[in-house]
Amino acid sequence: MTPAKWIWLVSAALLTFLIWLGLYYRDIQLPHWSAEAEAKQRIVATGEISNVERLNKHIWDETVWVGFGAGEQDDYHYVFLRSDETTLTVDASDVLGEDELKAQFRSSKPGSNIVRVQAGLFRGAPAWEIYYSAASDGGVQYFYDFYTFDKDGKLIDSYRLPSS
What pLDDT, on the 0 to 100 scale, is given for residue 155? 93
The three-point CA angle 78-80-85 to 5° equals: 145
Q: Any residues with CB less than 8 A from the CB of 136 and at least 6 apart, and which?
A: 163
What pLDDT, on the 0 to 100 scale, is given for residue 164? 61
What pLDDT, on the 0 to 100 scale, is given for residue 64? 95
Q: How far does the chain reach from its first CA to its final CA, in angstroms? A: 53
What pLDDT, on the 0 to 100 scale, is given for residue 135? 86
What pLDDT, on the 0 to 100 scale, is given for residue 12? 94
C-alpha dist (Å) from residue 127 to 20, 108, 118, 145, 154: 42, 18, 9, 10, 10
How many whole angstroms separate alpha carbon 153 and alpha carbon 115? Answer: 18
Positive or negative torsion for Cα 150, 122, 133, 137: positive
pTM of the predicted model, to two decimals?
A: 0.82
- Written as tens digits, the pLDDT of the chain (164 aa) is 888 899 999 999 999 999 999 999 999 999 999 999 999 999 988 888 888 899 999 999 899 999 999 888 878 999 999 988 888 888 888 999 899 999 999 999 988 999 999 999 999 899 999 999 998 877 889 999 999 999 888 999 999 998 76
Number of H helices, E strands in the chain: 2, 8
How many whole angstroms separate alpha carbon 118 and alpha carbon 106? Answer: 16
